[in-house]
Amino acid sequence: MNLLQELEKIKKEFRRFSSGIRVVLLIDRSKNKDREKKDRFLRKIVTKNSEEFFDAIEMLLKERFVFGGEDLRIYSSLNERDINKAIRLFKFEMLENDYQNEKEWVKFYFDIKNRFISCLMRPGSAKESLFLVDVDDNKKFEEAHKKLQELTEVIMVYKTKKGKHIVVKPFNPALFEVEGCEIKKDALLLLNY
């Protein structure tokens, strides 16, 4: 599939998750043990509406195709973000930073964009509260899907590299008794792999 076809597929499948403030990420999922976790995030883009969201996706698709890494994946925040909550968290971080040693104090301001995106991505900055259920075992999918339909509203199902993701409205996780599935309360959508 070429870049334009992939972009159109993402637009069609994920349009419902493109409006409002979102964070779009290009992540290296390779198993390089020498690299720190923070170095996996190759690019982070904050978008304010669907147009910016899909422009960011197009840019990251181009980068992914140019670098050609099968370990590169494009994600976005499942839940729309609340800028006011993120700003409040960021201000608290700034205040806490005032009491660091000079080296840490300066380091904070040299990395200010990443610090703010980190506040934006915290669960407390979510504007919505959709859950994502990760089902890596295709044999468990039917059982998981059926149980979720009993517990809540299923919003979307999409294929992943190893299985499927099921996006649902919030529910009591204690009532979901399907083994081999992971419930994520403020997850990332896998848009391209």
Could you report the per-residue pLDDT of 125-144, keeping only the tens digit for each? 999 999 999 998 888 999 99
> What is each CA distance from 74 to 4, 43, 112, 150, 183, in whole angstroms?
15, 10, 23, 31, 20
Q: Are 24 and 66 in contact (CB under 8 A)?
A: no
Could you report the per-residue pLDDT of 83-111, keeping only the tens digit for each? 999 999 999 999 999 898 989 989 999 99
**pLDDT band at 33; cut points 50, 70, 90:** low
DSSP 30: -
pTM, to two decimals: 0.86
Give the integer Cα–Cα distance in Å for 176 and 153.
14
Q: Are 99 and 137 in contact (CB under 8 A)?
A: no
- What is residue 57's predicted lDDT score, i.e. its pLDDT? 97
Determine the average pLDDT of the residues in 150-174: 95
What ranges do the domains of the chain cover? 3-77, 83-125, 131-192
